[in-house]
Each structure stands twice: as structure tokens, then as C-alpha cells.
Structure 1
Amino acid sequence: MRSIKRFLLISLISIICLGGLFTAFANYRDSQEQVEELFDAELAQMARMLQSLLASQMKRTNLDHLQDALVYEDYALDEKEEAGLSDGEEYTPLGHKYEKKLAFQVWSESGKLLIQTQSASQDLTRHQAGFNSDKVDGESWRTFTLFDENLRIWIQVAQQEDVRSELTAEIAEHAIWPSLLLIPIILLGVSWAVTRALRPLSTISRELKQRDYANLQTLDDANYPSELSILVDAINDLFQRLQATSDRERQFTADAAHELRTPLAGVKVHLQNAQEMAQSEPVSDCLRKALRGLDRLIHMVEQLLQLSRLDHERALSDAQPVQIDMLCQDILRESQPLIEEKNIRAEFNADGCAPIQGNPAALSILLRNLVDNALRYSPKDSQITLHVKNKTLVIEDQGPGIPPEQRQQAMERFHRGKQQNEIGSGLGLSICQRIADLHRAHMSLDERQDHQPGLRVQISFP
């Protein structure tokens, strides 16, 4: 199943990461170019400062004295001292470790070398005026050459490329590190924002999941962002159409069941009279079958009326403390004719019964349906058991039972199992389930715990 949240997070994080990496790379390259230009500008400035100093010096003396001044004792560090210098300890009492990577040379117009620093190499090429790159003894140098028209000399200032590259890389890295460190913070912010933006969808889903099938109230669109108004409006429109259809169906069922009660009662009276006046056994047998079918129809009409009344209930009405054990005994007394007819042994056990909050009339319908089912589907000379403990009711019979794969369907309306010999409409368990829902009770169908044939119905009240 596709996830909008996962899609948004992956897409936004990918875009931000790619954009951040591209920006960091672009900044890195731009920083390198800017730093390279700055170093080139410094070379040019050093060459012009040297030009000014040489012009002043040559007015007072010759360049030999200046060359003597450029000769100094080498202060090279040994390997141990060089290894001991950290990145922040590049300075020493004698100078800087990068000082030897800078050099300058001065030639006469004829090409004679006049002066140079100790770090300058004799192999540095005297290029034409401007910036150039040179390679001497495996070392790359960046040079700037200047020709003085008045002094008729060439001035060349040089810097090793490795120190330029090292410093350029350090400056560029320091420039892009803040951007790279900002990416995780942005990703966390995006994740929070996406989760926060999709929270109304989770709210709608949670609200719909918590509803039962009979709750078709419209959603309050004021609680959701305007972007979800189309979805909320569509859901509300569906609820309204379902509510209208359900109301018409219930009204039709109630009207039809109510209108059928009187005619069916009249037909039953006529059939009973005809059975009493029947002269032959075949006619009496036909009338007996007709009465049996009529009883089934009357039973279904009564259950339809019960279900219609229950469907209109949105919540439990007339709730009061009810002793479920006393109610069970009353229902068993009402069912005594059927118990005697089938010679069924009905056992009732009560253990620490606690009163429950419920509607006595609805609970009577629930118990009557469950006991009636147990008696109808149990064979003759069998046994049913009612057990009440605290707020839990258990009814067991010795009938054919319900296969596990059909137990959920058995509580749907008009569903009947393979056992069709007994009068039934397939509404009894659905009525019981509806009453249990109104009482916030849990109803389950299982096999008997002693592994004998039969059905075990358990209802746990809150």
C-alpha cells in the first residue's frame, strides 16, 4: 500500500539532500576560485611593493647589498618538531612553516639574475609579464612577472601550488561546513512538518475506525484544513445517502412487519380451525405443515419488529441495575413448554452475580433469543446450560454447533447455517449482537470447552 507520508518524506529529503550537495559543491568551487583570485592578487601586490622597494634601494646603492640582506640561516625543523605542529600551530619563533613556499627573483633586462630569496629555485622560468604556472623539481609554482620600464629589470614573485591548494581547500571547507551541518536540521524540520500536515488525515481515519456501523453522523469540516474539505464533503455526502437509504429500509421493514402481524394471526386461526375439522390424515398433515411454515413467518415478523426498534436506538435507554441471574431464571420458566416438549434438561448455575447497567426489556429479548436458539437446535433428550459469573453469561447447548469459518457470518442478518430443520429467520443472533453493542458488551461464539458437539455463546458485560 502506498504511503503519502513516505512519498513526501522521501521526495523532500531527496530534493533537499541533492540540492544541498549541489549547493555545497558549487560553493566549494566558487570559494576555490575566489581564494585563488585572492592569492593571485596578493602575488601581484607583492611584486609591485617589491618594485617600489627596489626603485628606492637602487637610488641609494646597488642591489648587491640587498642580496646580502636576503641571505639568512636556515631554520628548518626536524621531523619530530614538524610532526609536533598541529593545524593551529603553524607559527614558530623563527617564522612560519609556509615561508619557504614563497619566493621572488629579479633579473636584469639582459637576463642576468640580480637577487633572489633562498627559497627561489634557479630553475624557475622567467616568463613574460603576467601570471603563469611552472613546475620545478616536481613542485608546481604559481608566478607573477613584472617588467619595470624605468629600472629595466624583471621582477618575478612565486608561490608553491601545494600551499595554495591546501589553504584554498581549508577555506572552502570552512565555508561549506555550516551548509552541510544545516541539512540534518532541515530534514528534521521537514519530517516534523510533513507529519504535522498529515495529522488531520490520521484524525479522520481514527474517528471513522472508532464508529460503529450504525453511526452515520457527518464529520465536522470545521476541524480540518481547507485542503481536506473535498474529502470531508465526499465522506459526509456518502454518510447522508447511506443514512437516507438505511432509514427507508428500516421504515419499510417496520411498516411491512407491522402490517403483516394481523393478517398472519388471522390466517393462523383459520388454519387451526381447518386442522380441527380435517377428516383425513393427508389433509391434516398438509395443514400441520402450513401451520409450521406460518409459525416461522410469524416468528420472522416479530424479530423484524424487534430489530427495527433496536436499529433506531443510538444509545442505551432506560438503563438501570439488572440482576442477570434472575432474568435467566425468568426466561427458563417462559421456555418450559419447549423444554418439556423436547425433554431437554436445562441447568442454571450462578456464581457471584453482580448487577449490570442495562435495559431490562432489551436484555430479556437477548436472553430469550439465545435460550430459544439453544433449545431449538439441541436434539431431544439433550442438555443446555446457563452459567452466570460476575458479569459474564455463558450458554452451552448440544446442537450441531457453528463451524469456525461461519461464526462471524452467523451474526449477520438473514444468515442461516446448514441446519434448516428448525424454524428460524436468521435474525436471532443479529438481534443479540445489536443488544450487546448497545450495552457495550462483547459477544462471542465458540465450541464447547468439554469438546462435545454444541455451541458456546459467551457475553461479557462491562
Structure 2
Amino acid sequence: MQPSLLRQLLVWIVLPLIPLMLINGWLASDNARASADRAFDRTLQASARNIAEQITVEGGELVVNIPVAALAMFDPNFQDRVFYRVGFAGASTITGYHDLPLPKPLPDSGELSLYDTHYRGEALRVVAYSFPLYYNGAHHQMLVQVGETTSARQALASRLQRDSLLQQLLLAAVVVLFASIGIHQVLRPLREVGRTLEECGGDPALRLDESAVQSELQPLARALNQTLEKLEEQLDARQRFVADAAHQLRTPLTLLKTQAELTAREADDARRDEGLAALVHSTDQAIRLANQLLALSRAEPWQAQQPPTPLDLARLAREVCGDFVAAALAKGIDLGYEGVEHAPLAGLPVLLRELLSNLVDNAVRYSPAGGIVTLAVATTDAGWRLSVQDNGPGIPLAERHRVFERFYRGADTSDSHGCGLGLAIVAEIARVHSGSVALTDAPGGGLIATLALPASG
């Protein structure tokens, strides 16, 4: 089962936030350490300058007073230790910790140098301040160093990093919350569409309001409306087909029943045999009608949805000719095929065979004894042209547009076996294959039924 769309959208929003938060957390950690270093480095620098200001020469003697404020400015809430040294640059120590590590290189006169080192087993941050001093008849370069252990600055960096991460988590939670609310609101039209389909799904006349959904969903609503339109058309066609079939089957079935009852009451053997022959004839008509109704049903939109398969139209035409050889010989009709050897296309073989059978059956049925029926397949620029030509009575021009209607039979037809479905089946199958069918007069009399099919089927 697919997860909900809301959950998927939230996942795609939250997932990119995770690496971004990790990167931001790493940057926040660096920024926190840098901020803590800047804050504590200022204290170190101020302390070194304060001590340097208290170094004087009095009566020819060098006097160093370490002010209490210079060492008291460090954070008393942490047990950090402070170390200092005052001496000549690169030389002897005057006061303080004589083994405090020197910076490399020594800072220039009037400059400050910050560096990290280890002293007495602890990490130490040290500032060194170099300045000139005239003493004992000569200019000397003095060096003041002040160092502090790093517990306080590490604690400050951790607190800044923790506060930054908490802010990020809070921001991410707010983003997810508002994203959830926003996505829920955005998906409301889609839920409305689903509710409408669920409540009114049985109504083929249902149409969705495309303007009620976002522009990205309008193609979906449009496609659903088109599907509903096709469904309504198919349901209407099915209802018409069922009504037509019921109407057309009622007459032959009633006739069969009547003939059977009359034949059963007939005492004369000759008349009984005559009734039985009529019964067989009516049964044949009912069977033919049922078969053609089934063929028409297969050509209906709701049935003809199978994918097309490759076939050879010329070969299929020759096979259909073979199927009607016996019927043609019984009437002395010259039935033959002429045209290309192969005509490849993609289509539905069962329906195309039914189409050809109806055309050839009509041609043989309506051609006079000793007539000629020719089935031909030729190539065209657009695809293939299949034609069935006979020398029968033809169809009046005024009726040719109506003979493709279901159950229509010409006013002057003398065939009692037809039921007016043959050419309707032909037209329906041609439509399924994106083709067209036309009726024209044959040279010298008769009719030509021409089917045009695209090469792709």
C-alpha cells in the first residue's frame, strides 16, 4: 500500500532539512568556538596591556606592579587558572612563571600575539605583548605574557552551540508544523474531488469543476472528465445495443415459438414437413442475428480495447475468400482475390475477419447467379485500401448513408435472411481501426465497398 501523499510530501521536506541541520550544526560549533575565543581573547589582551602599563623605571630601577584588576577580570565562576610572565623579550624573567612557553615567533614591538599551548598538563590560551622600554641607559624590548586555561571558554562555546542547536530544532519543528498545515490545506481540493467521485461515482453524467482545483491538478481533473465522458458514451451505446438486441431478437423468437406450436398441431405429414422446414429457416435467421449481434458487441467501444497485434491484411483477405468458396460455387459466382502479396499492419484480427466476412457475404448474397465477386488489397500513400466488388443490383445513392445504420434494410431488398447489421458491423470495426468505409458504383453495374486503413492499423 502506498503511503499517503501528505506523508510523502512531509518526508521530502524533512529529509533535506537533516543534512542542512548537520551542516549548520557544524558551522554553529565553529562559530561558537570562534565567538568564545574572541570574548576571552579580549580579556587576555586587556590584562596584558594593563600589566604592561604598570611597568615603570623609578630611580634607575625597573619596577613591576601586577595590578589586581589585571587578573581579577577573568570569569570567577570557573576554576580556570591564570599564568603570567614579565621579562625581557627572549631573555630573563623579571616576575611570574619563568617557564611559560614563548610564542614563535616573538611579536613585533607594539604588537599582540595569541597562541595555544600546553603548560603543566593543561591546555592554555596565551597572549604575548611586546613593547619598548628605555632602561639602564639602553632601549630594551619587554614581553608580557598572560595565559588562561580553557575550561571557561569551552563551556561558553558549548552553551552557544547548544543554544544554536535548540533554535534550529525549534525552527525545524515550526517548519514541519506549518508545512503539515499548508500541505493539508493545499490537498483539500484533491480530497474534495475524491469525495465527489465517491459520493456520485455511479452517475455517468458527473463532471468535475476544473477551476476548483490548483493549476497543477487541472490536467488530472480534465483527464477524469474526459474519462467520464467516454464512460457515459459507452454506457449509452451499451444501453442502445441492449435495447436494439432485445427488440430485434423478440420478433424471430416469437416467430419460432409460433411456428413450433403450429407444426406440433399439424396432422398432415406434408404440411408438418413444410412447417419444420420453415422452423429451420427461422432458426437459421435467429442464429445469424445472434451471431451478428455478438460481432457488433465485440466492435463496441467497451469491448474493442485490446492492444493491436501485427497481422497481414492480404493473407487475411485470401483466407476469407476461401471461407466463402462453397457459397460462391453454389451460385456459380466467380469469387477471387487480386492485389498485393503482403499488407502488414497492426489491428485486431478477429474484428477484421468479421469485417471482411460481412463484405464478402453481402457481395455473394446479392450477386446474381454466375456473377463475379472480387476482393482486392492495394497500397496507398496513407496505408492500405481493401475493396470488395460485385455485379449485383447495388444500393441506390439515396440510401447509402443509411445502410450503415443498425438494423436498416433497403426498401426494395428481396433478401429475407438479412437483418440489417452487416454494414453496421463493418462501419463500427473500421472506426475501431481509425479507418473509413465508402460505397461506390462498380463499372458496368454493381457495388464496390472500399475500406481505407492507415498502415499502423
User: TM-score normalized by structure 1?
Assistant: 0.43
Higher share of residues assigned helix: 1
Structure with higher strand content? 2
- TM-score by length of structure 2 reads 0.43
